[in-house]
Structure 1
């Protein structure tokens, strides 16, 4: 350890700064964010390492330093998207909400996760590469499915209602696909109301049926 001498003449340890590491983390985050914007604005094919470097204002060498190669960069985007999605899904708390309010909370949370730019870019990467990023991409899909299944149990913990949760996720995936095709903001309020009404009506009807 290097030592320094303070004005009183006493030696003391040199302070280590975390500034270089923070700059590195900021650069890495900037490159990931720019890759997300590139994919959502221009499409997956435009997200070459060279083009992303130009958009982010860095050199190819900087991308190599942080990610290794283009596949490493794409996997970092997927990692970031999945991490954000899992964090949001696991934070949902329906507490003592009534049935409709629980359904609304679940649907809105899932939509917010699915439709975020980072998630859209991650889904586009997984679709375009079709498993070409290795076993880690498959593991991410399994993690997402597990988290979504847990979220579905917030709607109903009755095993007989598992199919209802699957309908919610299938509907949201379809709407997200439409947003990806449109390539911009997507007004899905009418679809949201129809989905919530349908699930609420089905579950209430099931509970009213005599044994």
Structure 2
């Protein structure tokens, strides 16, 4: 059921967020889906959990003795690659259908909001692990973790839409900017 829901969402079709449509694609009734997940909030929370299970722990793809530059490059590449797979399109389609206001999302879809929150914590943990052992300000690591997903979504969007921008240059520029920001101040 959950894999069918992810595939449906990954089409990018705004109608793919319909519980009835998902049920039809699964070959079940909406009542059967509700029995399994409770409601649409339960279904979306389970879909997000399923994607998180498939993703597993976000890897830190740089060795522990790597330089700050290599580690930042690995984080940027990790996010870029993650945003170019089908699950990412499914998440974006789901997010587009959900309330933008955090309070409203938490009120109307508490389990889905909780799953999104857990994804944010996992990403922050990945960034903290990536920079473990380096002399970097933890507050700045949290700031970097907060802006990388949006910045990388912009670059992925450029790739999908077609662009005259050199996307490798853009990724290198983001990496260099983050390295400069995280580099310990020399007094």
Same topology, TM > 0.5 = yes
Q: Counterpart in 2 of 1:36?
A: 6
Q: TM-score, normalised by structure 1?
A: 0.62
What is the root-mean-square deviation of aligned Cα atoms in Å?
A: 3.5
Q: Distance in 2 between matches of 1:178 and 1:155?
A: 23
Deviation of 1:124 after TM superposition, in Å, equals: 3.8
Structure 1 stretches lacking a partner, 5+ long? 1-30
**How much does 1:74 deviate?**
2.0
Identify the residue that residue 5 of structure 1 maps to in structure 2. none
Measured after TM superposition, the shift of residue 188 of structure 1 is: 4.3
Following superposition, the deviation at residue 139 of structure 1 comes to 2.7
Q: Does the C-alpha gap of structure 1 residues 162 and 117 become closer, same or farther in structure 2, counting only changes over 3 Å?
A: farther
Q: Any conservation in 2 of the 1:35–1:52 contact (CA below 8 Å)?
A: yes
- Where does residue 27 of structure 1 map in the other structure? none
What runs of 5+ residues in structure 2 fail to find an aligned partner?
Answer: 100-104
8 Å contact 1:106–1:155 — kept in the other structure?
no
- Tell me, in whole angstroms, the C-alpha distance in 1 between the residues paired with 2:109 and 2:143: 27
| Matched residue count | 174
Q: Is 1:140 the equivalent of 2:102?
A: no
Q: Which has the larger radius of gyration?
A: 1
Which residue matches 1:17? none
TM-score when normalising by structure 2: 0.68
CA distance in 2, matches of 1:117, 1:96: 33
Name 2:170's counterpart in structure 1: 191
